[in-house]
Amino acid sequence: MGMSEAATTTRMTEMTQKPEVTGMLSTLRAIPGLRRAWPEHRSSGSTSMSIECVDGEGRLRAGHVTAGATPDLLPYATDPALPALSTHLTGALVVHRAGRRAVVMEDSRVRKIVRPLRAVSLVRAHTSAASVLRVTGLRTPRILGNEDDVVDLELLPGRSLDELGDAGLPGWQRLTDSWAHLAHDKADLPVHGPRQETEVLRRWFASAQRHGVIDQPAPLHEQVVDTCLSLREDDGERVIAHRDLH
């Protein structure tokens, strides 16, 4: 094979491999220590992903990545949008979503760090949830203190159901049994109805399509449309849902 033929073959190989190499899923799989990833700017056309990974020194790092590019990681425990992170790191950093939030675990408390002025809504949501759960007998952590961008919660004893795995199934059963006794009429919680769920479904489908992670978008799009239409058939019944339990 001559030099020109070899060069042509190389270019053709690069062209056939490019969609796989530069695809978002391939990019994410290639990130060492990747733990989680979230689509960024859902309302825009951005194909950037927010990522959380563990670096070579075992530290939790947050950053962003686009398809085919090298991750852009923030320095450890540093985030311009979360100024309290670097000044309140008094324990183990266990969650860090760049520009959004961080969680620090200490011996007796859990510290949630959010953007400035966002803590008040977090306190309000926690207080409402605690009042609703009180009738179940399930214990909820007390708020130990808060600032405009930090909320300190009591660290309850025991191990999480996620950490327990199958051994935690009795705990999950108790949780589901207790859920039926929630005081619906006394819940001061926002309503997430058919319209809101339709918006969520459409937004996530658009995000998945934008990132190229759907092999056959047409059939899935039909299912999304059908589901959104069925959501219009609202029977008016309201139940309490976690909406972030996954």
What is the spatial distance between Cα 47 and Cα 26, in angstroms, rounded to a whole number?
14
Q: Is 214 helix (H, G, I), strand (E, B) or coil?
A: coil
Model pTM score:
0.80
pLDDT of residue 153: 97
What is the spatial distance between Cα 52 and Cα 37, in angstroms, rounded to a whole number?
6
What is the spatial distance between Cα 66 and Cα 44, in angstroms, rounded to a whole number?
14
Kind and range of the H or E run holding 11:
helix 3-22
| Low-confidence residues of the chain: pLDDT under 50 | 1-22
What is the spatial distance between Cα 44 and Cα 189, in angstroms, rounded to a whole number?
28
Identify the bridge partners of residue 146 per DSSP, sorted by sequence position: 151
pLDDT of residue 183: 64
What is the spatial distance between Cα 162 and Cα 58, in angstroms, rounded to a whole number?
21
